[in-house]
Amino acid sequence: MKTLVSLGHFLYNRTATMILIAALALGAVSLLLLTLGIAPTTIAVAIAHGSIFSWQKFSHVLSLWIPLLLCSCGLLFTFRAGLWNIGVEGQIICGAIAATALLREGSFGLPPALILTLALALSFFGGGLWGSCAGLLKNRGGVNEIFGGLGLNFVAQGLILWLILGPWKRAGIASMSGTDMFVKELWMYTPPGWRVAPAALLLALATFALTAFLLGATRFGLTVKATGNNPLAARLYAIHPERTGLAAMAIGGGLAGLAGGLQAACVYHRLLPPISSGYGYLALLVVMLANYRIAPVPAICLFFACLAAGSIQLPIVLQLDSALSGVIQGACVVSALLVHGLQKRHKGEN
């Protein structure tokens, strides 16, 4: 009986917190829109119309949801380890580069499914390697992972531009529009009327389930959590914070790299300079809004994906800048940080 009461109290607190966050964010955005003479309901209808009013539009939302979920899953590992992985954008880029290195060469007479699988494995390795670089800079060079990650983002951006305008340039022309398209047999299958590959969707769901299992039900997850909570105390239990942090950065980078590989393989079918599409920074907002917990991440990713897809309607229908979706996202994150901060302060006083 006590267990049921405790569970009910826990769920009540979680639900009340989410309602309060939503109310604060909605109130702040509504007040801003009313000040500008814009009805909030008009904005909501326009965003919904552009994201969920047809299967084709919702499948586009899912194509945005997949890389955002993968990057967020990777950040759950690094945040649990007490590390701020700001280098997600560079890790996405390196994953896309690694996948492109194989896909642009063709199928070599091998089954396309095998080539795509190898390309995605390479993208995970490429992103993981880039994430490990930030971890090594911290462990061996004393460089904070925030600055190391940001620096590596710029290096990755320079690398992709050099490849697109140099060795991998389109035949007879160096163009910012990207490399040549991959041969069509190496495009991940997308059914007619869909804008998302079913295999990519299943991969994202499996990745989330595996992340939840590793962080919530394994010794490795407990080790990562102990490292993040108190690295000095973790050493007393024969845990090496440096190694654990490096492993978390590698896994986080690998999942971001996988997102980049999927962007190249089943969205653009080539390598583009803006292949990361800002998913790395957006994933940071998702994880902070989830208060670094696993369960709310898919729903928050879906909400952000709906905002990103639906905001395309704003300049078309209402002559408003699509950047308004970023204002809504920011208001949600600020509200979440405010509520969680007040809760921690209240617990500390008690």
DSSP 100-132: HHHHTT--TTS-HHHHHHHHHHHHHHHHHHHHH
> Is residue 316 in some structural domain?
no
**Residue 13, pLDDT above cutoff 80:** no
Residue with tokens 């494995």: 121
> Is residue 82 in some structural domain?
yes
What CATH number is attached to the domain comprising 292? 1.10.3470
- The structural domain count of the chain equals 1
What does the pLDDT read at residue 24? Answer: 86
> Is residue 135 in some structural domain?
yes
Separation between Cα atoms, residue 100 and residue 92, nearest integer Å: 12
Joined together, the tokens standing for residue 91 give: 């890790």
Joined together, the tokens standing for residue 43 give: 């904005």
Separation between Cα atoms, residue 76 and residue 85, nearest integer Å: 10
Which of 66, 122, 71, 99 has the alpha carbon at shortest distance from 285?
A: 71
Separation between Cα atoms, residue 207 and residue 126, nearest integer Å: 17
**Residue 157, pLDDT above cutoff 90:** yes
What does the pLDDT read at residue 350? Answer: 61
pLDDT class for 5, splitting at 50, 70, 90?
Answer: very low
> Is residue 288 in some structural domain?
yes
**Residue 327, pLDDT above cutoff 90:** no
> Is residue 327 in some structural domain?
no
What does the pLDDT read at residue 45? Answer: 86
What average pLDDT does the structure give for the chain? 88
**Residue 89, pLDDT above cutoff 80:** yes
Contacts of 307 (CB under 8 A, 6+ apart): 47, 51, 325, 328, 329
What does the pLDDT read at residue 11? Answer: 43
> Is residue 176 in some structural domain?
yes
Which of 345, 59, 9, 72 has the alpha carbon at shortest distance from 208?
A: 72
CA dist 345 → 14, 331, 338, 340 (Å): 17, 21, 11, 9
Residue 100 sits in which domain range?
51-310
What does the pLDDT read at residue 314? Answer: 79
> Is residue 204 in some structural domain?
yes
Alpha carbon 341 to its chain centroid, in Å, reads 24
> Is residue 350 in some structural domain?
no
pLDDT class for 7, splitting at 50, 70, 90?
Answer: very low
pLDDT class for 348, splitting at 50, 70, 90?
Answer: low
pLDDT tens digits, 195-212:
899 999 999 999 999 999
Amino acid at 288: M
